[in-house]
Structure 1
């Protein structure tokens, strides 16, 4: 039953959960003992949405585990070390380093804001962590003071809780009126329901720097609706305390992701300030920091306002009896490409963790009755295709079909995003062996192949393997791409589903991957 000695639980046959040291919307953090290696660790018990059907809950757990395993591959001194991922009695757990020290949020609550030099030092550490994560196709999605740990005695800054703030395959503002994330630190492109890439983490860093310097986010308001309005609509006024780092803060808090300060420039400016005490002045991009620019299409302005009102209305509904549910999730995916046939196609995964959150991750949803279905229906903006190769799945509107031997592709215009499917007979050794054979051939089939990783996992109760890698694309114009490939056997067939996309647009690719995998169904044909 996972217990030992009264109420003390043991998970994974080795991790003894001893005391709760943190609690938030994403789950509970336990101080634990690794009885096998005789060391103390932190174990995060992830929250699972109790309103989901059994099938939906299983899919949610699989996504969380895939994401956790992928983050476990990240190695950087400013990223939490993930030792293990465990599924115990239907609930996911993440085993991490146990750090002596609290979060940045704890420090601000106890001692007040930090000085500009310390804020710049923290910012540089977080940029280093994000650089490694983004290069591996991992987005954080919930960068805030509560997810930044400060190790006692070393001054080391450690980023935790990757990928948990957004339901995989969903936008931040959902069609049902729900909000997922930490609103005071969430980028406006996510608020408005659009695709969000690595730049969304940089916006969150800008809000975090303001919080470190003043004690609170510049978007803190009395209600969630007020926060959303401030993020996507009000004029942004960086606080006076941010003056020493103003070019960095203003550059990061640029609403247009295309004009937002990039990681390299933010790092250069912060290093210059730490070295000289004066930040080099940089004019903000044209049109920055205004709620609605003249060049912003009216339909886009209306979309932003409509979604803000939608969430505000959801809050009123919540007060009248809607459900407030704190949900922790992890997301992630990537894909393969069409031009050169490969011997096999397959897929990968990720995670992070630790500390009490004074600004909880919030999910607001309307109460509704859910009924179990064999497969989720196509999300808004997708269509269900029934392919002659013997399967059906949801693909985004506008994607067109292409055939390359045994491989079927559904591709976006200009082939920026490529969803691939391959159906074959079973193979010797099953999905894991097939994926590892494909990974071994990776350098010969994918130019510039690197960061390849095959992880054993499951899909709808079937043994599966996830292969994830970065490569250079088939032409210099494509640039670096990330591929996520899931392979499993079912009904005497082997199925391979993958998505390939530019590294900089991995968040969109993950949404496509999740929709494809979650809605995929074998069929006769």
Structure 2
């Protein structure tokens, strides 16, 4: 924390920090008051690890700024809205809408595995947000339960584009550096290959598996053994997924070209989320794709 409890700090002469909302790898998220517009917002503060070299600190700041840039490019109710990037003490602070609710990770910790129907509803909303991001040329690259917010009004929101890769942008990571949570990483990324939208679909498949089974499919004792399992091991058969099983298996195909398309996955998830069972269709078909005469 940058301030002691009970002491308020104002960022950029405008955003008064009120209380911490959560901690993450990139820093602290605060509940804050925008004293110009008189509304509560969420402010993300970067926290550079002690002893981090200056170039790495600069790269962290750049990644934080890119989170705001990436998310701001996506106009979708399923993506957290970014209002501002404020500069204070030479570092950026991201100002976002305040989503009142819990993360999917917190829900799983409190309730345990979810039903296939509820998981499908959440997955459909996350996938719709991903499709909007992909249409804007943005890859999320860290889809996991901690980055999915379930608002008190039921809205499902995808957040934390801090390690997102924007199409056409220069890379901000060092060669060999693994960006993202290893157990949700797609095989092609574990192998150091260039990711695409299909890499986010893999991560969504891992998320769905974890939501209904209570654990991710390839998690091992160490990050390296986890990455090896992602690349080499077969998918452990889901036992609680029910009608979600074909969707999960379709999203978790090792070859990105063979993965279930986002359109077909979205259609199936919506059917399952409504309590139905999707009809067997052409693998990889996209019912949302335009028809060419």
Q: TM-score, normalised by structure 1?
A: 0.49
Give every structure 1 segment of 4 or more consecutive aligned residues whose post-TM-superposition deviation is greater than 6 Å: 165-168
Q: Distance in 2 between matches of 1:161 and 1:199?
A: 19
Question: Contact (CA 8 Å) 2:250, 2:259: kept in 1 or not?
Answer: yes
Give runs of aligned pairs for residues 177-256 of structure 1, distance below 5 A.
Answer: 178-256=177-255
Q: Distance in 2 between matches of 1:170 and 1:164?
A: 9
1:164: Cα distance to partner?
Answer: 2.1
Residues 30, 264 of structure 1: CA spacing in aligned structure 2 closer, same or farther, 3 A cutoff?
A: same
Flag the structure with higher helix content: 2
Counterpart position of 2:14 = 14
Question: Contact (CA 8 Å) 1:244, 1:278: kept in 2 or not?
Answer: yes
1:74: Cα distance to partner?
Answer: 2.0
Counterpart position of 1:52 = 53
Question: Contact (CA 8 Å) 2:79, 2:158: kept in 1 or not?
Answer: yes
Counterpart position of 1:127 = 127
Question: Contact (CA 8 Å) 1:138, 1:163: kept in 2 or not?
Answer: no
Give runs of aligned pairs for residues 492-503 of structure 1, distance below 5 A.
Answer: none
The two structures, once aligned, show a CA RMSD in angstroms of 2.7
SS of 2:138's partner is coil
Q: Distance in 2 between matches of 1:155 and 1:57?
A: 37
Question: Contact (CA 8 Å) 2:116, 2:244: kept in 1 or not?
Answer: yes
Superposed CA offset, 1:308-367 (max 9, x none): xxxxxxxxxxxxxxxxxxxxxxxxxxxxxxxxxxxxxxxxxxxxxxxxxxxxxxxxxxxx
SS of 2:96's partner is strand
SS of 2:101's partner is coil
SS of 1:240's partner is coil
Give runs of aligned pairs for residues 409-448 of structure 1, distance below 5 A.
Answer: none
Question: Contact (CA 8 Å) 1:79, 1:159: kept in 2 or not?
Answer: yes
Q: Distance in 1 between matches of 2:7 and 2:274?
A: 53
Counterpart position of 2:89 = 89
Q: Distance in 2 between matches of 1:21 and 1:103?
A: 11
Q: Distance in 2 between matches of 1:106 and 1:62?
A: 29
Q: Distance in 1 between matches of 2:218 and 2:276?
A: 27
Counterpart position of 2:38 = 38
Q: Which runs of 5+ in 2 are unaligned?
A: 285-293
Residues 225, 166 of structure 1: CA spacing in aligned structure 2 closer, same or farther, 3 A cutoff?
A: farther
Counterpart position of 2:270 = 271
1:238: Cα distance to partner?
Answer: 3.2
**Greater relative contact order (CA < 8 Å, ≥ 6 in sequence):** 1
Give runs of aligned pairs for residues 76-475 of structure 1, distance below 5 A.
Answer: 76-152=76-152, 154-164=153-163, 169=171, 174-175=175-176, 178-275=177-274, 277-281=276-280
Superposed CA offset, 1:64-118 (max 9, x none): 3244224223221111111111121122211111122110110010011111111
Larger gyration radius, structure 1 or structure 2: 1
Q: TM-score, normalised by structure 2?
A: 0.86
Residues 157, 20 of structure 1: CA spacing in aligned structure 2 closer, same or farther, 3 A cutoff?
A: same
Q: Distance in 1 between matches of 2:173 and 2:232?
A: 19
1:46: Cα distance to partner?
Answer: 2.3
Question: Contact (CA 8 Å) 2:78, 2:158: kept in 1 or not?
Answer: yes
